[in-house]
Chain A
Amino acid sequence: MLPSKAIVWQSPLARVAGKVARRLATIAALVLLGGLLSATMVRLAPGFDADERELDPSLSAESVQALRQARAGEHNIVGFYVAYLRGAMRGDLGISHALGQPVQSLLRERWPVTLRVAGIGLLLAWLMASTLALTACLWQRQAYEIFGITVSGAFLCIPAAVLALLSVILEAPGYLAIALIVFPKIYRYSRNLLAKAYSLPHITAARARGLGEERILAWHVLPVAGPQMIALAGITVSIALGATIPVEALCGLPGIGQLAWQAALSRDLPLLVNLTVLVTLVTLLANSGADVMIHMLRPREA
């Protein structure tokens, strides 16, 4: 007889506090490193000093020189980054070159939009994907299987920009486009994980014992597939954030994704560093949160 596993809460408060502190320190270090690396990448990429206005023939030679020198202050990457960090501690995140506004106010007015679009889109994607995957596992009909593969494959093969354009044409909300972009990826993983969990021998045994489907799902399938699904949930946050870039730009939503696209096109160093720091922070928090949840739900060895 296979032992059944009971799920218990693990650590007492003190141990948890220590672990949390260590985790936060790791996150902070990684975020700082991420900012420095992205600043270096932007600085080293060709065209850093180049400005479109150089090609304007009405500019005199002195003006063109002045344009080229405009970014001289950012040439020393380490110096720039240190100055940026010092400013950040005071709350000043620098001024964006492309939009001429303080980064702090730009981020503050735009993050609710992205949170809404990406958040609802992600929830919707998970809803669609898990429903489809679960019903595929329970129903076990090949026609349904083909339907699932085809639908998710279809949205995977359509470029994100086209999906965004479609949502503009059909006047659908932006979060729908994000949901359609992210859901195929979730579906494929979760379908495989659930199918694998359902194919384990003790499920057959449980079914033979006469256990209802809900109990099988709750007590035998989810504990096996659960941790990996939670890990998947963590990375879907960064996938959803990536999807906001084309969707916001095309649907005209004034969020962080639109900002990122602008910043990348114009090599806007202050903005790019801030955006990388933000994205790294969100990714790390999402994934660490997933890790913590998995850890807390891990069954104690009997």
Chain B
Amino acid sequence: MFSTDRRVFSRFLSCATRCFAFFFLALAPGSALAQGGELRFCLRSEPKTFDPLLVDDDASLSVRYLTGGVLVRANRKTQDLEPELAESWKLSKDGKQITFKLRTGVTFSDGSRFSSEDVAFTMQRLMDPALHSSTGDAFRSGSGTVSTKILAPDQIAIIFPSPVAGLDRLFDQVAIMSAHSPKKEAAVLGPFMVAEYKAGSSLLLRRNPNYWKKDSQGRRLPYLDSIRLDIQSNRDVEMLRFKRGELDLINVIDSDYFDRLASSSPGMAHDAGASLDSDFMWFNQVANAPIPEYKRAWFRSTNFRRAISQAINRDDLARVVFNGHAQPAVGPVSSANKFWFNSKLKAEPYRADEALKRLEADGFHQQNGSLFDKSGNPVEFSIVTNAGGKPRERMAVMIQEDLRKLGIRVNVVTLDFPSLIERISQKFNYEAAILGFRNVDLDPNGQMNIWLSSAEDHAWNPKQKSPETAWEAEIDRLMRAQASSADPKKRKESFDRVQEIVAEQTPFIYLVNPNSLSAVSAAVAGASPVILSPQTFWNAERLTLNATTRASR
């Protein structure tokens, strides 16, 4: 009896030692690539929809990026177009047709087979005129229906009624949905899938067991087990939780917090340089806006707008509001957009005396420190901006001070977003406004609705029946030219000219391009923050969590 016990005991001991050794090795640093773990970060707002074709807001975009499988992926770091679900593709010469050769052997997260039928189904749904999605509208270059031709289970051709500029890149936004699966939009092709959703609180994404991508050593991606997204709109709380180690990354961080983080934990703060975003100011030029006639005359004068632009100290804005983490903006396209940026243009330098000369040329004169127009009206106007955006509020206060030196009195009014939108796009009862533009796309064709005078987002004077000024007519012509051309060089020529006209006429007074700032904790390995969204988790499928740093929390 004694010997049996000893044998059992020794077997138990060896087994335990083996288990122990396995545990030790798995947790030891520098061991084979750590698998698993849960990445945690915050969404700034509630995701409005999980239908990938209807996605429009930031939070839903992030979820779609992580769960959706696309045909081609624009690599956020190199900006090259890479094959994903499509092994190769061919664009026709006229820019109207694209043919994809799809990857075989791919299945959705629920196991159903992926084939060209799913791509056809997705495109048909996307191009349904009743859908009203921004992803679908980006493909709409002209009237007519879009047709899909299934050439083989792994080959599909999509034909558009008129040429679409930058057609292949647009497919980076189209997440393929299943045509047949009973799970509908819950069946995904991306690295993660939605597991739990608590409205207003958090969202849990789990690894997709059927994800097709493997790394160079043949291991199935993603490395992470799950991603937890908490819904937290308050940046102070987000920063607190990051510092405490409850969050692993902050995708976009304010410059105040960035500096504090950089001084306490320099490795965690990343400044990727000027982003594609811009903040700008514009004046209301709508013909029948409910503002005094003499003010409308000021705002419609190019001299007035240029003078205001020259009177604003952009270097101060970049330095004070963003702690140096911003560049003075030049125009519609940021200098970070290497191909499309018109490198001949420079940001408007601060020249208050020239600004005054320009104004005097228009009949303005200074008296007792205040500026008056030629009819004797004191120059006073209001700037509306959205509340809660501290950088814009601060910029408005600084612009107020800059213009006060010219004798112009500015009233800063911060409004809640819906009231602001109603004022600037429906009622037009505003004088000047400061807003920002979040550019997701490198291709300026996405800005069509801003530059066309007949369009909705032509902020200073939308939905014109016919262009009210010669320069707006010229911009219309140039934008249409770049949209219908397939030659990138010709398109760049047209758009360069658009940028020049915008710099001369200043319908938008571009202020700054903020830098892309993000925070990544030491626990995350493989992160490489970039300027294109999503800045920190664009390579989520290859991110890993450093096991020892995690274990010590």
The chain A residues found within 8 Å of chain B, CB to CB, are 45-64, 66-68, 98-101, 106, 165, 168-169, 249-250, 252, 254, 258-259, 262, 265-267
- Asked if A56 and B134 make an inter-chain contact with CB atoms under 8 angstroms apart, the answer reads yes
Choose among A58, A67, A101, A254 the residue with the greatest number of B CB atoms under 10 Å from its CB: A58
- Asked if B200 and A52 make an inter-chain contact with CB atoms under 8 angstroms apart, the answer reads no
- Asked if B418 and A46 make an inter-chain contact with CB atoms under 8 angstroms apart, the answer reads yes
- Which residues of the other chain, B, contact A267 by a CB distance below 8 angstroms? 418
- Asked if A48 and B418 make an inter-chain contact with CB atoms under 8 angstroms apart, the answer reads yes
Q: What 0/1 pattern do residues 434 to 462 of B give for CB contact below 8 A with A?
A: 01000000000011111000011100000
Among the listed A61, A101, A169, A259, which residue makes an inter-chain contact with B455, where contact means beta carbons less than 8 Å apart? A61
- Which residues of the other chain, A, contact B447 by a CB distance below 8 angstroms? 57
B526 at the interface (CB under 8 A from A): no
Name which residue of chain B comes closest to A70, CB basis. B132
A-B contact list, 9 entries, CB within 8 Å: A47-B418, A51-B421, A52-B417, A53-B57, A53-B134, A57-B447, A58-B137, A58-B138, A99-B46
- Asked if B200 and A258 make an inter-chain contact with CB atoms under 8 angstroms apart, the answer reads yes
Among the listed A62, A169, A262, which residue makes an inter-chain contact with B200, where contact means beta carbons less than 8 Å apart? A262
- Asked if B137 and A60 make an inter-chain contact with CB atoms under 8 angstroms apart, the answer reads yes
- Which residues of the other chain, B, contact A266 by a CB distance below 8 angstroms? 418
- Asked if A63 and B137 make an inter-chain contact with CB atoms under 8 angstroms apart, the answer reads yes
Instruction: Report the bound CA distance from A47 to B422 in whole Å.
Output: 5
| Given pairs A49-B426, A55-B435, A61-B455, 19 additional interface contacts (CB within 8 A) | A47-B419, A50-B425, A52-B418, A54-B421, A54-B425, A55-B457, A58-B138, A59-B134, A60-B137, A64-B456, A168-B237, A249-B233, A249-B234, A250-B237, A252-B237, A258-B200, A259-B200, A262-B46, A267-B418
Among the listed B135, B199, B419, which residue makes an inter-chain contact with A99, where contact means beta carbons less than 8 Å apart? B199
Q: What 0/1 pattern do residues 213 to 251 of B give for CB contact below 8 A with A?
A: 000000000000000001011101100100000000000
B344 at the interface (CB under 8 A from A): no
- Which residues of the other chain, A, contact B422 by a CB distance below 8 angstroms? 46-47, 49-50
B201 at the interface (CB under 8 A from A): yes
- Asked if A59 and B57 make an inter-chain contact with CB atoms under 8 angstroms apart, the answer reads no
Instruction: Report the bound CA distance from A238 to B438 in whole Å.
Output: 41
| A268 CB → nearest B CB, Å | 11
Instruction: Report the bound CA distance from A99 to B345 in whole Å.
Output: 45
- Asked if B200 and A99 make an inter-chain contact with CB atoms under 8 angstroms apart, the answer reads yes
- Asked if A169 and B446 make an inter-chain contact with CB atoms under 8 angstroms apart, the answer reads no
- Asked if A46 and B419 make an inter-chain contact with CB atoms under 8 angstroms apart, the answer reads yes
| B524 CB → nearest A CB, Å | 22
B80 at the interface (CB under 8 A from A): no
Instruction: Report the bound CA distance from A56 to B137 in whole Å.
Output: 11
- Which residues of the other chain, A, contact B418 by a CB distance below 8 angstroms? 46-48, 50-52, 266-267
Interface size class of B (residues with CB under 8 A): 35 or more
B416 at the interface (CB under 8 A from A): yes
| B278 CB → nearest A CB, Å | 13
- Which residues of the other chain, A, contact B199 by a CB distance below 8 angstroms? 99-101, 106
Given contacts A52-B57, A66-B132, A249-B234, contact A100 B200 (CB under 8 A): no
Q: Top 3 nearest A-B pairs by Cβ distance?
A: A47-B418, A50-B421, A63-B132
| A98 CB → nearest B CB, Å | 6
Given contacts A63-B132, A165-B237, A250-B237, contact A58 B446 (CB under 8 A): yes
Instruction: Report the bound CA distance from A50 to B420 in whole Å.
Output: 9
| A53 CB → nearest B CB, Å | 5
- Which residues of the other chain, B, contact A100 by a CB distance below 8 angstroms? 48-49, 199
Instruction: Report the bound CA distance from A258 to B199 in whole Å.
Output: 11
- Which residues of the other chain, A, contact B421 by a CB distance below 8 angstroms? 47, 50-52, 54-55
- Asked if B46 and A59 make an inter-chain contact with CB atoms under 8 angstroms apart, the answer reads no
Interface residues of B in 374-397 (CB under 8 A from A): none
| A245 CB → nearest B CB, Å | 13
- Which residues of the other chain, B, contact A58 by a CB distance below 8 angstroms? 134-135, 137-138, 446, 449
- Which residues of the other chain, B, contact A258 by a CB distance below 8 angstroms? 200
Interface residues of B in 441-491 (CB under 8 A from A): 446-450, 455-457, 463
- Which residues of the other chain, B, contact A101 by a CB distance below 8 angstroms? 199
- Which residues of the other chain, A, contact B133 by a CB distance below 8 angstroms? 63
- Which residues of the other chain, B, contact A62 by a CB distance below 8 angstroms? 129, 132
B409 at the interface (CB under 8 A from A): no
Q: What 0/1 pattern do residues 99 to 134 of B give for CB contact below 8 A with A?
A: 000000000000000000000000000000100111
Instruction: Report the bound CA distance from A278 to B339 in whole Å.
Output: 56
- Asked if A57 and B446 make an inter-chain contact with CB atoms under 8 angstroms apart, the answer reads yes
B256 at the interface (CB under 8 A from A): no
- Which residues of the other chain, B, contact A250 by a CB distance below 8 angstroms? 234, 237
- Which residues of the other chain, A, contact B138 by a CB distance below 8 angstroms? 58
B140 at the interface (CB under 8 A from A): yes
Instruction: Report the bound CA distance from A58 to B437 in whole Å.
Output: 12
| A172 CB → nearest B CB, Å | 13
- Which residues of the other chain, A, contact B230 by a CB distance below 8 angstroms? 252
- Which residues of the other chain, A, contact B427 by a CB distance below 8 angstroms? 46
Given contacts A50-B421, A54-B421, A58-B446, contact A165 B46 (CB under 8 A): no
B94 at the interface (CB under 8 A from A): no
| A151 CB → nearest B CB, Å | 25
Instruction: Report the bound CA distance from A266 to B200 in whole Å.
Output: 13
| B283 CB → nearest A CB, Å | 17
B56 at the interface (CB under 8 A from A): yes
B198 at the interface (CB under 8 A from A): yes
| B82 CB → nearest A CB, Å | 22
Instruction: Report the bound CA distance from A100 to B420 in whole Å.
Output: 24
| A217 CB → nearest B CB, Å | 44
Given contacts A49-B422, A54-B456, contact A254 B237 (CB under 8 A): no
| A256 CB → nearest B CB, Å | 10
Among the listed A51, A61, A98, A265, which residue makes an inter-chain contact with B456, where contact means beta carbons less than 8 Å apart? A61
Among the listed B46, B140, B236, B448, which residue makes an inter-chain contact with A57, where contact means beta carbons less than 8 Å apart? B448
| B282 CB → nearest A CB, Å | 13
Instruction: Report the bound CA distance from A122 to B317 in whole Å.
Output: 46
